[in-house]
């Protein structure tokens, strides 16, 4: 079902996107404020159901790439991503009928909405990550054969670079990231130019609506004094994700962070309130694996999110602190993210992990 986004929807969308951000993805607040400004200025944002795309529609994905810690300081002008869109359209000689998020977790849930508002085109309800991931080639679009190139990357001055690496999406990520760093650590991109048919074939469907509903579920649970995570699990059962579960409740007793290769690596240790169990979560911006008492209980691409134990509000990897009372929550990925081709691109070994992927719901059943 297509619909127009209302001002009241935006906080719910931001909240749900933060859950799907799995510790990374950046703070959606900046994006949320931008979207709210667009709506307050009378602009319209249409969320288009993928089934309503024609096969020969032309769709371009838009996003921010770079350090979230830069974006909270050098907030967007709001025009950068549209510039990239226009630059890519010029380069290819055709105009986009719609845009689509490349990442529904975190800040990038919002950037395409701003593009939609400014460019007057709809946003397809779906994305290419189903969560947040750190690198541009980690897209279901790419997994199933769509080239990310050509890609346009712009800064606030209107300076634009076109990156074209043919079918090599990994190299596209490397070059685009180098440019983004020179542009100040954060830049705005238009990429994965594709047909409506490609979108329908390769996108994870209805993830904008999913994020909206996750946020709504948590808010309503809080208003009614229900357990937000129980409500979330009940909600997820009827979605393509299917399974959400609390992996642990406890207090953070250790956090370690270091930067390597331009990403924030680290781990957090959660001790259960009764002091008996211990969970270790490793992250590479986003959370990638959780061990409980030494045994794997969740592993990428399945989602691992750390939230406030009482309110269910998500906590990013950067905000983790000793003493926080948290719940560690796991969400199973949809089938499209679990094929051998998909696991090749964003499974455990793409994150340097030796453990093999085992589905979250299987690991949960085994416990």
Partner 1 sequence: MKIGIDVGGTNTDAVLIDGTEVLAGVKSPTMSDVALGITESLRRLQSAFPFDPTQIDAVMIGTTHFINALVEAERLAPTAAIRLGLPATSGLPPFVGWPTRITDAVKALPYMCHGGHEFDGREISPIDREEVRRAVRDAVARGARSFAISSVFSPVNPEFEQMAAEIIGIEFPELPVSLSNEIGRVGLLERENATIINAALRDLSAEVCSSLDQSLMALDINAPLFLSQNDGTLMDVDFARKYPVATFASGPTNSMRGAAYLSGIKDCIVVDVGGTTTDVGVLQSGFPREAATEIEVAGIRTNFRMPDVLSVGVGGGSRIRFDDGVTVGPDSVGYRVTEEALVFGGQTLTATDIMVAAGDTVIGDPERVKHLDRSLVYAARDEIHRRITETVDRMRTSSDLVPVIAVGGGAFLVPEQMACASEVTRPAYSGVANAIGAAIAQVGGEVDRIFAIPAGKREEVLDQAREEAIGKAIAAGAKASTVQIVEIDELPLAYLPGNASRVRIKAVGDLPTSK
Residues 6+ apart with CB under 8 A from 296: 289, 290, 355, 358, 363
Q: Where are the beta strands (DSSP E) in 85-206?
A: 98-101, 123-124, 126-127, 151-154, 160-163, 186-195, 204-205
| Smallest distance, partner 1 to C-beta of residue 282, A | 15
Sole binder of partner 1 in the list 37, 55, 355, 362 (CB under 8 A): 37
Under the criterion CB under 8 A, does residue 30 sit at the interface with partner 1? yes
Which tokens is 244 given?
């959400």
Rg (CA), the chain: 19
User: How many of the chain's residues bind partner 1 (CB under 8 A)?
Assistant: 48
| Three-class DSSP category at 141 | helix
Stretch 171-230 residues interacting with partner 1 (CB under 8 A): 177, 180-181, 184-185
Query: Considering only 146-154, 239-247, 315-323, 342-350, which stretch makes contact with partner 1 by CB under 8 A?
Result: 315-323
Of the two residues 76 and 312, which places its CB atom closer to partner 1 in the complex?
76
Whole-angstrom distance, CA of residue 52 vs CA of residue 305: 32
Query: Considering only 65-73, 234-242, 291-299, 331-339, which stretch makes contact with partner 1 by CB under 8 A?
Result: 65-73
Whether 348 contacts 286, CB under 8 Å: no
Whether 51 contacts 199, CB under 8 Å: no
**Residue tagged 């009372």 (tokens):** 325
Residue 299: C-alpha distances to residues 46, 286, 292, 343, 353 (Å): 35, 12, 12, 11, 9
Query: Considering only 6-14, 215-223, 227-235, 273-281, which stretch makes contact with partner 1 by CB under 8 A?
Result: 273-281
Under the criterion CB under 8 A, does residue 4 sit at the interface with partner 1? no
Of the two residues 311 and 335, which places its CB atom closer to partner 1 in the complex?
311
Under the criterion CB under 8 A, does residue 240 sit at the interface with partner 1? no
Sole binder of partner 1 in the list 51, 54, 237, 273 (CB under 8 A): 273
Sole binder of partner 1 in the list 315, 327, 328, 342 (CB under 8 A): 315
Of the two residues 76 and 196, which places its CB atom closer to partner 1 in the complex?
76
Whether 267 contacts 281, CB under 8 Å: yes
Under the criterion CB under 8 A, does residue 254 sit at the interface with partner 1? no
Residues in the site for partner 1, rule: CB under 8 A?
Answer: 29-30, 33-34, 37, 66-70, 72-79, 114, 156-158, 177, 180-181, 184-185, 251, 257-259, 262-264, 271, 273-275, 285, 310, 313, 315, 318-319, 321, 323-325
């Amino acid at each position: 079902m297509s619909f127009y986004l209302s001002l009241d929807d935006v906080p719910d969308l931001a909240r749900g996107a933060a859950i799907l951000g799995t510790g990374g993805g950046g703070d959606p607040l900046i994006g949320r404020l931008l979207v709210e400004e667009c709506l307050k200025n009378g602009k319209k944002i249409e969320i288009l159901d993928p089934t309503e795309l024609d096969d020969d529609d032309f769709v371009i994905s838009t996003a921010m790439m770079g350090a979230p810690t830069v974006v909270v300081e050098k907030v967007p002008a709001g025009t950068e991503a549209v510039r990239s869109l226009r630059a890519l359209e010029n380069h290819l000689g055709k105009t986009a009928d719609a845009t689509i998020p490349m990442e529904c977790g975190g800040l990038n849930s919002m950037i395409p909405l701003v593009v939609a508002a400014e460019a007057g085109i709809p946003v397809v309800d779906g994305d290419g990550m189903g969560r947040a991931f750190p690198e541009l080639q980690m897209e279901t679009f790419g997994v199933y054969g769509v080239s990310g190139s050509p890609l346009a990357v712009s800064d606030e001055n209107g300076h634009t670079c076109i990156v074209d690496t043919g079918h090599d999406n990994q190299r596209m990520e490397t070059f685009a990231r180098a440019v983004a760093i020179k542009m100040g650590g954060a830049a705005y991109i238009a990429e994965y130019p594709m047909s409506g048919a490609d979108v329908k074939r390769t996108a994870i469907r209805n993830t904008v609506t999913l994020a909206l509903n996750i946020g709504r579920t948590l808010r309503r649970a809080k208003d009614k004094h229900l357990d937000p995570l129980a409500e979330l699990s009940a909600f997820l059962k009827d979605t393509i994700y299917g399974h959400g579960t609390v992996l642990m409740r406890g207090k953070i007793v250790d956090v370690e962070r270091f930067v390597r290769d331009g990403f924030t690596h680290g781990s957090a240790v959660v001790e259960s309130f009764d002091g008996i169990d211990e969970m270790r979560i490793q992250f590479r911006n986003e959370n990638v694996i959780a061990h409980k008492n030494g045994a794997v209980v969740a592993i990428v691409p399945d989602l691992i999110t750390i939230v406030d134990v009482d309110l269910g509000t998500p906590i990013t990897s950067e905000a983790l602190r000793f003493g926080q009372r948290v719940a560690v929550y796991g969400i199973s990925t949809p089938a499209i993210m679990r094929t051998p081709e998909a696991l090749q691109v964003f499974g455990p070994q793409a994150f340097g992990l030796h453990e093999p992927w085992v589905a979250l719901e299987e690991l949960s059943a085994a416990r």
